[in-house]
Amino acid sequence: MKVTKQRSESLFSTLRIFCLGLSLLGGLSVSQAQNLGQQQPQPRPQVQPPPQNALAPAASQPNFTRLENLGSQIFRDPALSEPRGTSCNNCHSAGSGFASNNGSRIGVAQGSTPQSIGGRNAMSNAYTSFIPKFQFRVTGEDVDPVGGFFWDGRADTAELQALGPFLNSLEMNNKDAASVVRKIAASPYAQMFKDEFGSQVFSNPTLAFQKIGVAIAAFERTSSLQPFNSKYDQFIQGKVKFNPQEANGMKMFMDVNKGNCASCHLMNPNSSKPSDSLFTDFAFYATGIPRNMAIPRNANPSFFDLGLCGPDRSKPALTNNVPANISIEKFCGTFRMASLRNTAERKAWMHNGFFKDLRDVVSFYATRNSDPKRWYGPKGIANDLPIAYVGNIINDRVPFNRPASAGPALTEREIDDVVAFLKTLSDAPTQPPGPTPPPLVGVRNNPFVN
Ligand code: HEC
Ligand code: HEC
């Protein structure tokens, strides 16, 4: 009885948090939005000529729908930040595994001003169409949080996720939704936006802001962001062979007594269907990543990024399927597993960007237990979680279940081989965007618009 009551209260608080999230993302109250809607006619802002170093607008892709093209234009538009110059693409460019941190080399993203340094490493926005909604997955004795966008799973859909960066002061730094909408209304693709969402769309900034998310999400679902054309994909389709080093790397990656990587980063080389190998099951784990001292908020020794337990989100409420003896505290310090597709192209790895070299990532997995001082300093105790949560770090699964005396899980050579295998997960380079072609005629209609 008591449990049921607690659970329904938690469900209520989930809903509350969700609604709060929505209104924060929207950035506008209904009355504010109505007020803005009444300022008619809206003066049409002047279009500024782009600065010399601005990125070229995206080429319209002939195989995209109008909605997808719109999303692509918005994604690459450097005019949508404050000050201008930082587009989504600055932190998610194809050449850096879709996670480029806007040129920052300290492992976390730099925003639209040199002073705005964020708290986390950019994630790849490729292959995100497979991310399930946030949930607690219960299999036998195992309870794992799974899914949701961001390292902490705080956004349920790509549509909602896409609205976050515009208003984040450490990213694109817009004051509110209405100012983003004004910039879109002054953009070269404003007409396309109206054609897609209705000629009056800009007079309702709340609605227009939501539609920005709809367009970006449609673009992110296109095959341009899930091309599945890596060497690995060709390999499972029998089109190419791996060299001996790559083949051994895959073996070590899958071997349940060696890397055991595939137990989490799911793959199925016996299926010729690339989407059966996403290299993640979207579950959350605390893996004991060392603290990145270069992150500004880490200058405070009592600050800890607890992932699922905040501070960038509120703790999620446990759902009815979770056994009553499990508390949310058990998941503090967990982060959502990333896909390893294109991981070799990145400049920094893990939620806090601690690693700057992919080989170090694999060495960490191989030696976290055998040589903890190498990663955590003289005490040899995980240093990026409060002591109360160090017990949440996964230690009951290969390669994390070894006593120090058992030595590294992988030899130096096997580490090199795993790295060679990870490099086969990089997609073929994409075409650089060309100049904007004339407005589109005769593209497929958007199924979302009535
Ligand atoms: C200043 C750098 C920066 C900019 C600009 C930026 N992002 Fe991100 N992006 C990040 C960081 C950092 C994260 C991880 C944040 C977190 O987990 O709290 C992220 C996460 C994401 C994710 C989540 C991927 C996943 O697997 O859950 C998507 C999708 C994404 N961004 C898309 C976008 C879009 C769309 C835009 C433009 C509207 C954008 N980003 C602008 C840095 C940036
Ligand atoms: C217990 C599950 C688990 C196992 C086993 C595991 N990983 Fe991971 N992996 C994760 C999680 C969770 C993250 C994200 C952790 C974070 O950032 O806090 C991650 C992140 C990564 C990343 C960084 C991705 C990025 O975009 O920053 C790489 C690379 C990686 N793993 C490779 C491997 C390799 C190689 C192995 C085997 C030696 C392995 N993993 C074994 C769960 C696992």
pLDDT tens by residue, 85-124: 999 999 999 999 999 999 999 999 999 999 999 999 999 9
Same domain flag for 273 and 127: no
Note whether 392 and 335 are same-domain residues.
yes
pLDDT tens profile 220-250: 999 999 999 999 999 999 999 999 999 999 9
What pLDDT score was predicted for residue 441? 33
Last residue of a domain, one of 176, 198, 224: 224
Which helix (H) or strand (E) element contains residue 105?
A: none
Is the residue at 429 inside a domain? no
Asked whether residue 444 is assigned to any structural domain, the reply reads: no
- CA-nearest residue, atom 23 of ligand 1: 150
- pLDDT number for residue 381: 97
Say if residue 236 is in the same domain as residue 319: yes
pLDDT at 42 over 60: no
- In short, whether 261's Cβ falls inside 6 Å of ligand 2 is yes
pLDDT by residue (tens digit) across 293-332? 999 999 999 999 999 999 999 999 999 999 999 999 999 9
* Contact 285 CB / ligand 2 (< 6 Å): yes
Q: Which of 196, 224, 252 is the last residue of a domain?
A: 224
Q: What are phi and psi of 73, to 5 degrees?
A: -65, -45
pLDDT at 10: 39
Q: Are residues 288 and 412 in the same domain?
A: yes
Closest residue to atom 2 of ligand 1, CA basis: 91
- The answer as to whether 179 is a domain residue is yes
**Residue 343 near ligand 2, beta carbon < 6 Å:** yes
Contact present, 202 and 194 (Cβ < 8 Å): yes
CA–CA gap between residue 220 and residue 125 (Å, rounded): 7
Q: 79 or 59: whose pLDDT is higher?
A: 79
pLDDT tens track for 248-285 = 999 999 999 999 999 999 999 999 999 999 999 999 99
Kindly report the average pLDDT of the chain as a whole number.
86
- For the chain, percent of residues with pLDDT exceeding 70: 82
Pick from 183, 174, 181, 180: which is nearest to 201 by CA?
A: 181
Residues 349, 366: one domain? yes
Q: Tell me which long-range contacts 127-130 makes (C-beta under 8 A, separation of at least 24).
A: 127/225, 127/226, 127/278, 127/339, 127/341, 128/158, 128/220, 128/225, 129/158, 129/220, 129/221, 129/225, 129/226, 130/226, 130/275, 130/278, 130/282
Q: Could you give the number of structural domains in the chain?
A: 2
Indicate if ligand 1 lies below 6 Å from the C-beta of 156: no
Q: Are residues 240 and 220 in the same domain?
A: no
Quote the CA–CA distance of 35 and 22 in Å, as a whole number: 19
Encoded tokens for 18:
């969700």
Q: What spacing in Å lies between the alpha carbon of 356 and ligand 1's midpoint?
A: 19
Contact 106, 294 (CB under 8 A): yes
Q: Is the CB of 349 under 6 A from ligand 2?
A: yes
Task: Check whether residue 324 and residue 199 sit in a common domain.
Answer: no
Cα-trace Rg, the chain: 23
- Residue 121 domain-assigned (yes or no): yes
- pLDDT score recorded for residue 60: 60
Q: Per the structure block, which two tokens stand in for 318?
A: 């446990």
* Same structural domain, 185 and 275: no
415 or 59, higher pLDDT: 415
Residue 109 lies in a domain: yes
Which of the two residues, 14 and 36, has the higher pLDDT score?
14
Site of tokens 């300093």: 377
194 and 258 both lie in a single domain: no
- Of 152, 289, 335, 340, which is best to mutate to test ligand 2, by the most ligand atoms within 8 angstroms of its C-beta? 340
**What CATH number should be reported for the domain holding residue 80?**
1.10.760.10
**pLDDT band for position 429 (50/70/90)?**
confident
Per-residue pLDDT at 319: 97
- Cα of 227 from ligand 1 centre, angstroms: 20
Please tell me whether residues 138 and 281 are part of one structural domain.
no
Q: Which atom of ligand 2 is nearest to the CA of 289?
A: 18
Q: Are 278 and 127 in contact (CB under 8 A)?
A: yes
**Residue 339 covered by a domain:** yes
For residues 153 and 351, what is the distance between their CA atoms, to the nearest angstrom?
A: 12
List of residues 6+ apart from 48 with CB closer than 8 A: 79, 84
- The ligand 2 atom nearest the CA atom of 351: 17
Which helix (DSSP H) or strand (DSSP E) does residue 184 occupy?
helix 177-185
**Residue nearest ligand 1's atom 6 by CA:** 88
Answer yes or no: is 437 within a domain: no
Say if residue 194 is in the same domain as residue 268.
no
The CA distance from 392 to 334, in Å, is: 8
Residues 214 and 252 in one domain: no
* φ, ψ of residue 178 in degrees (nearest 5): -60, -35
Residue span of the structural domain in which 361 resides: 231-423
* Inside any domain, residue 433: no
215 vs 217: CA distance, rounded Å: 5
Three-state DSSP class for residue 12: helix
HSE-up of residue 331 (Cα within 13 Å, Cβ side)? 27
Where residue 430 falls among pLDDT bands split at 50, 70, 90? low
Which of helix, strand or coil describes residue 135?
A: strand
